[in-house]
């Protein structure tokens, strides 16, 4: 956004500069375009390199995730500490700029007085954000899966270099403006003195702070190289260019696949290969609560009189038009935007627990009543379409896809596709579990989509 705003400002200044006599106005257009180029290049590159958010917060993938090497962790902590040591210098910069503003604007009598405040405080604020970005880079690189550490550091470094480049470009432009305004202010001694004090304050604080931030960013470049060369965090260039964020799933270390999971008597009722789970939202839910209570579940295409429903009012999955209860989810409370809860799936006829849904970051584990693993539901993002895969070991047995069917989020629905799983030795997957977890997945993804686009 800052890059596009700078580009638009450069276009506007170019139009104004065609009629301007002052060389200062003419130089602002090139300054704005240079600023826009630096910001856009760093932000777009960082967005390309940064792994998907679902992959960063994932803590159950089914593949090996070796611990981050101690020397990489120590280096990241050390760099974060060095960045925090620069807080005192930046605070002094803030205080110096504030003292200068008090002499120029002893009393703010107009809204236009905020304009010089924004100009004066812009560079100290940018330096502060750079320090915050250094801390976020270290923290995120440590908590992310070790195989993504190098990419996280590189993305953070690209943003840091963009911030530092803006500081350097802005400082050079201020020197140009100062040289051009010197002769103009020569007839006003008071204005000349004030402007000279501000330039002295800026050069005395901005120069050292910018140099230290540049060296800190260079340290993170070194950390990225060290992380890339470490065996536990090694990732190939092909994986970076293709956007790959993880290897294919394999047996999760320490997890035991349930050999004979409890099966619902209603599993055979879902005899179609594809189903759609569509929220039926009331007007109040659509505009106020943003949470859906009832879902309609039909086969794709809708060729059968048999359809299903699920309601968070009582947690019941029903078959229609018979109004037959198939399963119940406990507790009957929908997931929120920032938290998930553990659920139990109870057979409506027999009254015993079939399985449990255990949240694991952006993923879910499906376990039997004893806690043994039945399957994993793993999330994938692909250009706005959110997908989940239900995996038994290395076999994908169910595929979920959430996408908009119209222009608004109220038209979205979740598609459930049952896949034929090769290998007769693998235990079958209870289809009731896939249908039961579908409203949970749909509601959580829809809330996240609304928050991201609000």
pLDDT tens for each residue of 92-119: 888 877 777 776 665 555 554 566 677 6
What pLDDT was estimated at residue 245?
43
Structure tokens at 37: 């180029």
Q: Has residue 408 got a pLDDT over 60?
A: no
Return the SS3 of 231.
helix
Cα–Cα distance for residue pair 111/186, rounded to 1 Å = 28
Q: Which residues pair with 393 in a beta bridge?
A: none
Q: Which of 164-168, 328-332, 406-410 has the highest mean pLDDT?
A: 328-332
Euclidean distance between CA atoms 8 and 11, whole angstroms: 5
Dihedral sign computed on CA atoms, order 330, 332, 335, 340: negative
17-31, 71-85, 230-244, 344-358, range with the lowest pLDDT? 230-244
Residue whose C-alpha is closest to residue 155's, from 40, 36, 45: 45
Q: Give the model confidence (pLDDT) of 204-214 as tens digits.
A: 777 788 888 89
Pairwise pLDDT comparison (380 vs 186), residue with the higher score: 380
Torsion of CA 291, 293, 299, 305, to 10 degrees: -150
Cis peptide before 180 (omega within 30 of 0): no
What does the alpha-carbon distance between residue 31 and residue 312 come to, in Å, rounded to a whole number? 56
Name which of 321, 363, 353, 335 is nearest 430 in CA terms: 353
CB distance 277 to 295 below 8 Å: yes
What does the pLDDT read at residue 240? Answer: 44
Classify each residue of 148-180 as buried b or exposed e, where b means 16 or more C-beta atoms within 10 Å of its C-beta.
Answer: bbbbbbbbbbbbbbbbbbbbbbbbebbebbbee
Mean pLDDT of the chain: 77
What integer pLDDT is reported at residue 443 of this predicted model?
85
Provide, rounded to the nearest whole percent, the portion of the chain with pLDDT above 90: 21
| pLDDT of 184 higher than 50 | yes
Better-scored residue on pLDDT, 422 or 173:
173
Map out the domains of the chain as residue ranges: 50-242, 267-452
Q: Does residue 279 register a pLDDT over 80? A: yes
Split at pLDDT 50, 70, 90, the class of 403 is confident
pLDDT confidence of residue 315 = 92
Q: What is the mean pLDDT of residues 435-445?
A: 90
H, E, C per residue of 146-179? HHHHHHHHHHHHHHHHHHHHHHHHHHHHHHHHHH
Whether residue 79 has pLDDT greater than 90: yes
Q: What is the share, in percent, of the chain residues with pLDDT greater than 70? A: 69
Q: What is the pLDDT of residue 48?
A: 87
Cβ proximity of 16 and 25 under 8 Å: yes
pLDDT classification of 236: cutoffs 50, 70, 90? very low
Higher pLDDT, 403 or 254: 403
pLDDT over 60 (residue 289): no
DSSP of 350-365: T-SEEEEEEEETTEEE
Own/partner contacts of 5-14, CB < 8 Å, gap of 24 or more, are 6/32, 6/33, 6/35, 6/36, 6/39, 7/32, 7/33, 7/36, 7/40, 10/35, 10/36
Q: What is the pTM of this model?
A: 0.58
More confident site: 238 or 133: 133
Q: Averaged over 391-401, what is the pLDDT?
A: 87
- Please confirm whether the linkage preceding 349 is cis (ω < 30° from 0): no
């Amino acid at each position: 956004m800052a890059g596009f705003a700078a580009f638009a400002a450069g276009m506007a200044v170019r139009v104004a500069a065609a009629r301007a006599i002052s060389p200062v106005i003419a130089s602002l257009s090139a300054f704005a375009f240079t600023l826009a180029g630096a910001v856009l290049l760093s932000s777009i590159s960082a967005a390309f390199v940064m792994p998907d958010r679902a992959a960063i917060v994932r803590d159950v993938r089914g593949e090996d995730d070796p611990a981050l090497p101690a020397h990489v962790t120590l280096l990241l902590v050390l760099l974060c500490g060095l960045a925090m040591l620069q807080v005192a210098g930046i605070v002094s910069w803030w205080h110096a700029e504030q003292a200068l503003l008090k002499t120029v604007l002893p009393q703010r009598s107009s809204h236009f007085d905020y304009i010089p405040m924004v100009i004066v405080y812009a560079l100290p604020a940018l330096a502060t954000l750079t320090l915050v970005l250094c801390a976020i880079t270290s923290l995120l690189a440590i908590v992310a899966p070790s195989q993504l550490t190098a990419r996280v550091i590189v993305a953070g470094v690209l943003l840091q270099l963009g911030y530092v480049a803006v500081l350097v470009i802005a400082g050079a432009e201020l020197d140009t403006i100062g040289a051009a305004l010197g002769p103009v202010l020569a007839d006003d001694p008071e204005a000349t003195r004030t402007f000279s004090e501000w330039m002295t304050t800026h050069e005395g604080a901005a120069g050292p702070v910018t140099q230290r931030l540049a060296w800190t960013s260079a340290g993170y470049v070194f950390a990225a190289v060290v992380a890339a060369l470490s065996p536990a965090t090694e990732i190939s260039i092909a994986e970076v260019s293709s956007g790959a964020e993880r290897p294919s799933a394999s047996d999760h270390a320490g997890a035991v696949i349930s050999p004979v999971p409890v099966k619902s008597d209603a599993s055979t009722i879902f005899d179609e290969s594809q189903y759609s789970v569509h929220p039926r939202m009331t007007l109040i839910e659509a505009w106020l609560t943003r949470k859906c209570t009832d879902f309609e579940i039909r086969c794709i295409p809708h060729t059968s009189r048999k359809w299903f429903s699920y309601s968070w009012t009582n947690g019941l999955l029903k078959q229609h038009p018979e109004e037959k209860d198939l399963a119940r989810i406990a507790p009957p409370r929908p997931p929120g935007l920032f938290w998930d809860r553990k659920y139990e799936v109870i057979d409506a006829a027999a009254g015993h627990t079939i399985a449990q849904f255990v949240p694991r970051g952006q993923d879910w584990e499906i376990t039997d009543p004893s806690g043994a693993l039945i399957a994993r539901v793993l999330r994938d993002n692909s250009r706005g379409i959110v997908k989940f895969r239900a995996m038994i070991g290395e076999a994908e047995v169910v595929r979920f896809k959430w996408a908009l069917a119209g222009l608004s989020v109220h038209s979205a629905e979740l598609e459930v596709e049952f896949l034929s799983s090769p290998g007769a030795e693998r235990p079958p997957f209870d289809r009731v579990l896939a249908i039961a977890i579908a409203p949970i997945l749909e509601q959580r993804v829809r809330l996240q989509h609304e928050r991201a686009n609000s």
